[in-house]
A and B are shown apart, each in its own frame.
Chain A
Amino acid sequence: MISNQNYRGLIASPLSLAANLLLVDPGGLGGMHCKARVSPWRTAFLQQYLSRAESIGPVVALASHADERSLIGGVDWAASLRQGLACFEAGVLGRVNKGVLKVGMADRLNLTMAGLIAQAMDQGALPPTLGRDDAGCASGSDLSFACLLLDEALDEENAAPGLLCCRLAFWISEDNLLNQPLSMLSSADLSRARGFLRRCSMPGFAYTALSEAALTFGVDDLRAAQFALRAFRALLALARALDPQAREALDHEEALGAVAALVFGPRATRLPNSAEAALHQDQGSKGELPPADTGVDQRQAARDDQHQGRLRPDEARKREALAPELDGEQLQAATRSTAQTATRSATNSATNSAEASDDQPAISSQDESAQDGPRGVEQVLALAVAAAQALLPPGLLASGALAAAALSGSVSSGRSTTRSKAGLRGRSLGVREGLPGPRTRLHVLATIRAAVPWQGLRERSSKDALMRIERSDLRIHRYEQRDQLTTVFVVDASGSAALHRLAEVKGAVELLLAQCYVRRDQVAVIAFRLDQAQLLLPATRSLTRAKRQLAALPGGGGTPLASALALTTKLMLQWRRQGQRIQAIVLSDGKANIDLEGKPGRRKAMLDAQHQARMLARLTHRASRLVWVDTAPRPSSDAQSMAQLMGASYMLLPYANAQGLAALAS
């Protein structure tokens, strides 16, 4: 066991561990996804980390408005025109070699940029620029850098592009590492460690231990295991740099446990405590359970664990704090399937919450067992699981389907791209006078054409330049970019006909998605029942995802129409900010009986709903199309007046069927 204080500090603090390891092997570890809003903590962290990083290599920030050209470099127009030669300037990636690329507001990073950064990381070279084959990497050698993604997203839906996040070893967030002490090692130690990086011998069981740990945490991505291995190697190098005698004294199990927790913890898709049980279950059934079901099973398993007192006390407290959410979740999950199971699970969850409070004083037996247990792989697992408790994604306990938590991380596809309207792409609309800038492109031929008539009048500045071009000659491209259409179905899932209606909406969603690849349209589903509305399917264009998330739909209960309309308004405003056209199709008989606060009472509920309908009309009437589909057997005055308030067109479709709805939407 190394007693060096710096080393002990590293092992004890995941944040310090991540930050220091990243400086030892920036290229190999890819970088860090830091999910935190601007706060004193984040500022202090960045300051400490970046000041150390600066002593090692360049730190280059990517501006939030940066475009493709400023990322990978391109033609320097001013110089080109001045000299009559095509002049190139290096982009951000050309300047970041062996350093840190700091991407602020990564949640707004569009896919194109993320794709280019990922490509540069994968290939160790700049993506080729037009007109220059050598890619223009300053030294022409391998390009390697660490990427620091500062993600300020409030929800999973708008997080930084998944294709970039999965290429970064460390995911930290303010939820799990807030207030952690950060200690950076000295530059001398770090650079010594970099020297040892290639000369560390790896204990044989490290591969097995890390592979096992990845499975235990349910981390499928093979990159994660590689990252853990590289992190372990960097930690070995660091240990040697800190303490030359480290080779004998180093506790490999402890080190492996720390890196496994650091890399796999935030990526976990299952609770490691119940992982063993889940594994056996999977093997037993010889088939993959649908994600929603596994989610329920694992929560159940987690509860069982808790029941048996295997959790640490702080964990149990945390769980208890989440208990109300869990119960809500449990209810939803249960009602998703059928009415019978609903009643059964409701009683279950009631008993469970009772158990949870009973279990609070439970004492952990895990630590003792870890000490007595056999050395090697098992110990690494135990250590990793213990160390990862604080690092698990907060959604893992609270959110419904565990698979969905993993999913939403990968699905967030930086939809904000649509906002850039002028664009450098799209169908050409011709040329207009103007200056080329980050969002516009020079039309060379038109510019030359505009300049030609004036040449006789202008003095030649140098012999080389064939023509003299002035500001007024510059012409830029105009491109048209088609808007995206987002269709949102707002479905009344209350009452007895709910299941049928939801099934038809599900069919319509799938038909729409199957038809609209070409238009790249998106579909979302809001369902309202019990005491509030819920976004069942966030806007997506993936049929696969829609199928998965709509696999089991909840139905029955009251009619919180006001809540549904409020949610619709909120989402429509959000989508409109992203530059999308929206159409909303409401399926309901308009008979609200739950008010905005979720309390029953028909009069207040109707008033609330009417108010929300007016708001919806006022806030979203432009660039959106609203349809009210009346699902009552006979035309109902409630629905008609509601449609009128909303400014929606009214349709009577008592037996709403999938084809009819899809036709209505397209």
Chain B
Amino acid sequence: MKHVYPFAALVGQDDMKQALLIAAIDPLIGGVLVFGDRGTGKSTAVRSLAALLPPMQAVKSCPYQCDPKDRATICPHCKRLRKPQAVTVPVPVVDLPLGATEDRVLGALDLQKALREGVKAFEPGLLAKAHRGFLYVDEVNLLEDHLVDLLLDVAASGENLIEREGLSLRHPARFVLVGSGNPEEGELRPQLLDRFGLSIDVRTPKDLETRLEVLKRRDAFDQDPSAFCDHYESQQQALKALIVSARASLASVALPNEVMRYIAQLCMKLGTDGLRGELGLMRAARVLTAMRAQSVTSIQEVIDVAPSVLSHRLRRDPLEESASASVIARALRDMPSASAQAH
């Protein structure tokens, strides 16, 4: 068993950690995009997320890890079962490599069966593996266009439709898309950008103390991974418990009218496209409320998630110089009712 660097041991990068936890609590948030310099712990954070996710129930031997309770499934395997057997499986966190072929992503003809038995059988690909879990694309801005098309299509419909090599089938593929990349190497297509619920800008820490701590922890991990993981075990457990309890209380979080009004005003002020901004902000603020073990969302939660929800949704004037984060910060500062409504 290979040890993975524990999520709880990550130093700094609080925005990124918060966004990943929000997505872990509520998968419907629509994915996380982490943009920033090299060597800021983007991949480490995403890969360490898997260990935090509470295991889920799945239909036994279903290649798509279907939920046994989901009776309306389109899964070709589970549709035929009358009484599916449930097993506990870990939530998948699947890596989508940069140069993956369509075969690998979508799935393809099962060779063995085709050659040996002359049967057309489908061999599930990465999208099937990521169902009900996370799909992580490192260097997402370098992903080839046709793969982006595939991802957009599947992410929008929640199902993977195969029409190739004489195969014709569809299977469920709902996953949280997590992308990371370096903006210097290319921009992200707006349609794909729009799919991400949260977008984070990470920067390399420039202060000595933080860098020192990163170095020490990483070294300790390299030297003795199992002891290091043991040391952080209690914190990991606490985070796990946080995810479980936040999920449970999420449904009962109340969103008062004045907070909704504040959200709408903020989005109007920033001129975000469509209503996705408002909806995303509402959802994320509620998750944050649940994470903080409160029952009523306050404006503070909205303010805390606003930058990550809205920064990639601003209508961008290419000639505009200032970063979207500062635009949002300015708008938040200028909101007239911010202090009045907070209490």
Residues on A lying within 8 angstroms of B by beta carbon are 28, 68, 75, 80-81, 84-86, 110-113, 115-116, 119, 122-125, 127-128, 130-131, 142, 162-163, 166, 198, 202, 207-208, 210-212, 214-215, 220-226, 229-230, 407, 410-411, 413, 424-428, 441, 443-445, 448, 464, 466-467, 482, 507, 510-511, 513-514, 517-518, 520, 541-545, 547, 658
Contact = CB atoms under 8 A, between A and B. Distances in A.
A198 B240 CA distance: 32
Given A123-B95, A163-B38, 19 more contacts: A111-B99, A111-B142, A112-B99, A119-B95, A119-B97, A202-B219, A211-B208, A211-B211, A212-B208, A215-B211, A220-B37, A222-B41, A226-B222, A229-B218, A411-B184, A444-B165, A445-B114, A520-B145, A544-B187
Given A28-B222, A226-B215, A510-B319, A410 B109 contact: no
A443 B165 contact: yes
Contact of B211 (A142, A222, A230, A445): A222
A514 B316 CA distance: 9
Contacts of B222: 28, 226, 230
Contact of B99 (A113, A122, A428, A445): A113
Contact of B223 (A75, A198, A225): A198
B98 A116 contact: yes
B120 to A, nearest CB: 7
Contact of B204 (A221, A411, A466): A221
A442 to B, nearest CB: 9
Interface in B178-209: 182-190, 204-206, 208
B108 interface: yes
B102 interface: yes
Nearest to A540: B186
A510 B219 CA distance: 43
A223 B318 contact: no
B215 A75 contact: no
A125 B205 CA distance: 29
Contact of B187 (A166, A425, A513): A513
A464 B40 CA distance: 54
Nearest to A198: B223
24 contacts: A75-B111, A80-B111, A80-B115, A86-B115, A112-B98, A113-B99, A119-B138, A123-B95, A130-B103, A130-B108, A131-B123, A222-B204, A407-B184, A411-B184, A425-B147, A427-B146, A441-B101, A445-B114, A464-B116, A510-B319, A520-B186, A542-B187, A544-B184, A544-B187
A541 B186 contact: yes
B99 A68 contact: yes
A495 to B, nearest CB: 24
Nearest to A506: B319
B262 to A, nearest CB: 30
Nearest to A129: B104
Contacts of A163: 38, 139
Contacts of B208: 208, 211-212, 215
B189 A518 contact: yes
A166 B165 contact: no
Contacts of A543: 187, 318
Contacts of B102: 425
A545 B184 contact: yes
Nearest to B103: A130
B136 to A, nearest CB: 11
Contacts of B261: none
B99 A466 contact: no
A166 B39 contact: yes
Interface in B213-239: 214-216, 218-219, 222-223
Contacts of B139: 111, 115, 163
Contact of A510 (B116, B117, B204, B318): B318
B211 A225 contact: yes
Given A130-B104, A212-B208, A544-B187, A122 B117 contact: no
B110 interface: yes
Contacts of A441: 101
A207 B110 contact: no
A192 B267 CA distance: 64
A115 B114 CA distance: 31
A222 B109 CA distance: 43
Interface residues of B, number: 66
A220 B206 CA distance: 7
Nearest to A466: B118
A34 B80 CA distance: 58
B182 to A, nearest CB: 7
B2 A142 contact: yes
B68 interface: no
B212 interface: yes
Nearest to B116: A84
> 10 shortest A-B CB distances, which residue pairs?
A112-B99, A115-B98, A221-B39, A514-B318, A220-B204, A223-B39, A86-B112, A86-B111, A510-B318, A517-B189
B39 A84 contact: no
B186 to A, nearest CB: 5
A226 B211 CA distance: 10
A279 to B, nearest CB: 10
B2 A124 contact: yes
B274 interface: no
A210 B215 contact: yes
A514 B117 CA distance: 52
B39 A410 contact: no
B146 to A, nearest CB: 6
Contacts of A482: 145
A410 B184 CA distance: 8
A221 B203 CA distance: 10
A131 B39 contact: no
Contacts of B184: 407, 410-411, 542, 544-545
Interface core residue of B102, B120, B126, B184 (most chain A CB under 10 Å): B184
Contacts of B219: 202, 207, 226, 229
B321 interface: yes
A127 B38 contact: no
Contacts of A116: 97-99
Contacts of B37: 220-221
A334 to B, nearest CB: 22
B251 to A, nearest CB: 36
B125 interface: yes
Contacts of A111: 98-99, 139, 142
Contacts of A85: 112, 115-116
Interface string B84-116: 000000000001011101111000111110111
Given A85-B116, A425-B102, A514-B318, A215 B206 contact: yes
Contacts of A444: 109, 111, 114-115, 165
B318 A511 contact: yes
Contacts of B104: 128, 130
A482 B116 CA distance: 37
Given A426-B146, A507-B319, A127 B39 contact: no
